[in-house]
Amino acid sequence: MLLTIVDRSREAIHAALDEAHLLPGDVGFYASHQGTPWLTRVTAAHADISDAATVITFPSLANMNSVNVPFILAEGERLGLLRNGDVVATFSGGLGETWSSLVMRWGR
């Protein structure tokens, strides 16, 4: 299941980018589900967005399930990694075969 979620991340992120008429290189920040210590880096690399800033919380907080993505967004903003106008890609995968991606422009 964990290995197929990596493939799903690429499909979902690229579909969301296509819908937004953006390219992987446009992504400035990536917020991902962190079910394992390596998942964020592997999914980012597989989706061609490994240059995007991110926050890795797994070593200190482990898997926070549905809170992963919103917490990483909040931490990215708090740490100054996420600013108004940044293109953000998210990816979340859960139990079984569920996954989703969202692309948005950050701002208030």
Of 3.40.50.2300, 3.20.20.80, 1.10.3720.10, 3.40.47.10, the CATH number of 2-95 is 3.40.47.10
pLDDT tens for residues 48-99? 999 999 999 988 887 877 788 999 999 999 999 999 999 999 999 766 678 8
Q: Which residue has the tokens 């690229």?
A: 14
Residue type, 59: P
pLDDT tens for residues 13-43? 999 999 999 999 999 999 998 888 898 999 9
Q: What distance in Å separates the CA atoms of residue 95 and residue 77, rounded to the nearest whole number?
A: 28
Helix H, strand E, coil C: the string for 5-64 is: HHHHHHHHHHHHHHHCCCCHHHCCEEEECCCCCCHHHHHHHHCCCCCCECCCCHHHHCCC
Q: What distance in Å separates the CA atoms of residue 46 and residue 99, rounded to the nearest whole number?
A: 15
pTM: 0.92
- The domain locations on the chain are 2-95
